[in-house]
């Protein structure tokens, strides 16, 4: 679908019943306008979906070559690797990528998006922060600016999404643990307000159902999606009467936290408790013990998101197909030996 015609200062002036010069002064933050008039103008701005393009106002440029990359957590190595994949494509295309970290804060995300829109970005690639309201991107869509979601999607949103096959990845990981002889399993980290959590938890539960792990032997512990969250999840799991012997973690950061908590207890991942992560960040292979994880081709997803964005800009459209990337399970030391064979050896 082609982008809609953008609202103008004249549209705002008509809506608010004021002159164009009054609207211009409000947009520039002038103190010459009475507060009640400024309030009326700001409401009109919202109503007509106008976006103040500071770059155009200052430079009168026809086109921008800046693309905003708005990431929810750059402290997570996965998102850093994703951003590198995007940046590689943009630099080759002569586009300036502007990256911002929202730190899972919807208020900060709003500020970043507003600032980028004022600078006249050509497009936005966003991994939405937790707690993002459904209407957050409506005004940007109205303005005709292309948006691509990466890794995360919002319910009932038509914005194109680039993400891995979360459900399939979780099925592979849980099947691996069950076939290695584990009968009490846990899912650690994440929260039910994230679509990606529902997809990964859904895959975990499907594998448990298919391979005969009853509901009482499946422990689900929500938590922060970082090392701290992983440590807390393990402590919660070990406090129940019949603790699990293995866990699929929401992501690798949670898995690293679980492994740290095990070590604090004098236990080791793989030998005493099986751990599987999700994302397969570069650190997973070099961690000690090396982390079994669901590989999602992080850099490839970033590159795909960038290519889709460039195509949207060139085609002057805000629509694109979703892309669900293939996944695979990379088995390393942290998921431990086959417990079935150990039982057979002992018999």
Q: Rounded to an integer, what distance in angstroms lies between the CA atom of residue 254 and that of residue 258?
A: 6
CATH 3.40.50.300 corresponds to the domain 9-52: no
Read off the pLDDT of each residue in 251-277 and give the average, rounded to a whole number. 97
d(CA 173, CA 171): 6
The domain locations on the chain are 9-52, 66-164+298-325, 166-297
Q: What is the pLDDT of residue 59?
A: 37
pLDDT of residue 154: 86
pLDDT band with cut points at 50, 70 and 90 for residue 63: low
pLDDT band at 31 (very low <50, low <70, confident <90, very high): low
pLDDT digit string, tens, across residues 119-161: 889 999 999 998 898 788 988 888 889 999 999 988 888 899 9
Q: The whole model's pTM is what?
A: 0.78
Mean pLDDT of the chain: 89
* Radius of gyration for the chain, computed over Cα atoms and rounded to the nearest angstrom: 24
Burial of 225 (0-12, 13-18, 19+ CB in 10 A): buried
Confidence category of residue 200, pLDDT binned at 50, 70, 90: very high
Q: What is the DSSP string of 217-244?
A: GEEEE-B-SSHHHHHHHHHHHHTSSS--
- Using omega within 30 degrees of 0 as the cis cutoff, is the peptide bond preceding 289 cis? yes
DSSP H helices in 131-226: 138-142, 166-179, 195-210
**pLDDT (mean) for 107-112:** 94
Q: Is the pLDDT of residue 222 over 60?
A: yes
- Homologous superfamily (CATH) of 66-164+298-325 is Response regulator (3.40.50.2300)
pLDDT band for position 60 (50/70/90)?
very low
Higher confidence at residue 50 or residue 212? Answer: 212
Do the two domains 66-164+298-325 and 166-297 of this chain adopt the same fold?
yes
Structure tokens at 145: 């600016």
Fold that domain 166-297 belongs to in CATH: Rossmann fold (3.40.50)
Give pLDDT, residue 347: 37
Q: Is the pLDDT of residue 114 over 60?
A: yes
């Amino acid at each position: 679908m082609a982008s809609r015609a953008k609202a103008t200062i004249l549209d705002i002036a008509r809506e608010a019943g004021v002159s164009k010069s009054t609207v211009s002064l409000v947009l520039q933050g002038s103190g010459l306008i009475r507060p009640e008039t400024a309030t009326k103008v700001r409401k009109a701005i919202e109503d007509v979906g106008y976006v103040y393009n500071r770059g155009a106002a200052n430079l009168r440029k026809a086109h921008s070559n800046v693309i905003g990359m708005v990431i929810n957590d750059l402290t997570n190595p996965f998102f850093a690797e994703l951003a590198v994949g995007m940046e590689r494509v943009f630099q080759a295309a002569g586009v300036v990528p502007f990256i911002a970290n929202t730190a899972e804060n919807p208020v900060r995300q709003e500020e970043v998006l507003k600032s980028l829109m004022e600078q006249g970005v050509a497009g936005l690639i966003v991994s939405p922060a937790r707690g993002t309201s459904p209407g957050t991107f409506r005004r940007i869509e109205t303005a005709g600016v292309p948006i691509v979601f990466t890794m995360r999607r919002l319910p009932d949103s038509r914005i194109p999404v680039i993400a891995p096959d979360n459900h399939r990845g979780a099925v592979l990981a849980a099947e691996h643990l069950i076939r290695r002889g584990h009968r009490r399993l846990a899912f650690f980290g994440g929260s039910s307000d994230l679509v990606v959590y529902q997809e990964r938890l859904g895959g975990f539960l499907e594998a448990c159902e298919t391979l005969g792990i009853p509901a009482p032997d499946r422990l689900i512990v929500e938590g922060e999606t970082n090392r701290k969250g992983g440590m807390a999840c393990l402590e919660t799991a070990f406090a129940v009467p019949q603790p699990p012997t293995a866990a699929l973690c929401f992501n690798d950061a949670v898995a690293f936290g679980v492994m740290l908590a095990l070590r604090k207890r004098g236990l080791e991942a793989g030998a005493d408790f099986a751990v599987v992560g999700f994302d397969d960040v570069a650190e997973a292979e070099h961690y000690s013990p090396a982390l079994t994880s669901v590989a999602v081709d992080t850099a490839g997803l970033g590159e795909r998101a960038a290519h889709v964005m460039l195509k949207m800009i060139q085609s002057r459209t805000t629509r694109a197909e979703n892309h669900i990337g293939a996944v695979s399970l990379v088995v390393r030391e942290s998921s431990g030996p086959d417990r079935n064979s150990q039982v057979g050896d002992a018999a």
